[in-house]
Amino acid sequence: MTGSTAFQQKFGFRRDEVTLANWRTAPFNRWAFQNVAEIVPSVVQTYGQAQDEAPADPAGILDRKVASLDGAPTVQAFLERTHSDALAVMRRGEFVADWQAPHTRFGAPHLAFSISKSLTAIVAGILEGDGLLDPEAPVVTYVPEAANSAYGDATVRHVLDMTVSLDFEEAYLDPESVFARYRQAMLWNPGGNGESLLDLLCDLKRLPGPHGEVFRYRSPNSDMLGVIVERASGQRVCDLMRERLWGPLGIRGTVAVTVDRQGYARTAGGVSISPRDLARVGEMMRQDGVAGGKRIVAESWIRDTTTAGSRDAWLVGDFVNLLPEGRYRNKWYQSGKGWFCGIGIHGQWVVVDPATETVVVKMASQPEPVDDDMDRENVAFFEWLFTTV
């Protein structure tokens, strides 16, 4: 069997069929989401030996029926129906189940999409603890060239909590939108006019209303946070993550972060990380900022992230139907039921439930960027897992 034939049998298409124009569409995303650095310029950092870890046997849960879901599917059937690539479950700090789809290699990095926002916010929290970053400071304190943009009178807190009054829509599927221009600037789409990510951010306009009143899910806010982090620290985001997050956490696999033509990291959605290593981040959050006996981020920042945030802004915001009791703080979602999470399009989740000492990571290659029904099913599945595994 030739290499190309083996690839086609595994994924259902040839490698040369995957392009910059189609890599986020089905079926090509099944491979592309685990190999983004072959498509988009990326900083790639390898740690430890992920392949030396043995997966935890998931057999004990795969045949269980999830009664809270329509049709009471088995876990195996649910994972397949929701286009899952991998599942990792931790209980009390130990991995108790690892599952991979046939096309997924255990320990391989997977694009986390907007969970990248949550990871970048942790680094911002570390800098806050160092006294290098003030969340209440104006954005222009760190990025003065943003003065004539929507960020000209916004604070870092507005950026962190997605309450910037930004005239921008997350039009994932509209090739004529500003979002398409945004993806060209980050080098995720072909075309463009040589505009960098920072150029675009500093050209975005604001809405008439004040900042701080409405939760508006707008990804450029999180790329701006990456620039703020770099300016506040004097270091590249990828270097900060390596020194202050990945190294102290003791992660085992490879982390890749896509970058634009000027080397700015795509902190809103460009991080690829293995399911287990992402679960280690969730466990650190569950342990109030400590991992392996090392303090990663201040406990006060964890408490703020998991309990604060404007309820009023959430109620008039974009995601209230998914988490009616929720809030959003420091780029993490609160459920209002005690558990909290990071979420990425196409089915990426890291979910932390302190009450049952559980962390769940689910990574997927859902065909649609946003599927509200599938999101609600995922929430029901996680809540079932909390009390079952």
Residues annotated as catalytic are: 114
Task: Please name the residues in contact with 254: beta carbons below 8 A apart, sequence gap of 6 or more.
Answer: 44, 45, 46, 47, 50, 109, 272, 274
Residue with token string 């392996």? 292
The Cα–Cα gap between 247 and 269 comes to 21
Could you please report the per-residue DSSP string of 124-187? HHHHHHHTS--TTSBGGGT-GGGTTSGGGG-BHHHHHTT---B-----TT-TTSHHHHHHHHTT
Report how far residue 291's alpha carbon sits from residue 268's, in angstroms, rounded to the nearest whole number.
24
Query: Would you list the DSSP string of 226-245?
Result: HHHHHHHHSS-HHHHIIIII
Using DSSP bridges, classify how beta strands 110-111 and 254-258 pair: parallel, antiparallel or unpaired. unpaired
Q: Which helix (H) or strand (E) holds 208?
A: none
CA within 13 Å, CB half, 255: 28
Look up residue 98 and give its two tokens: 């690892």
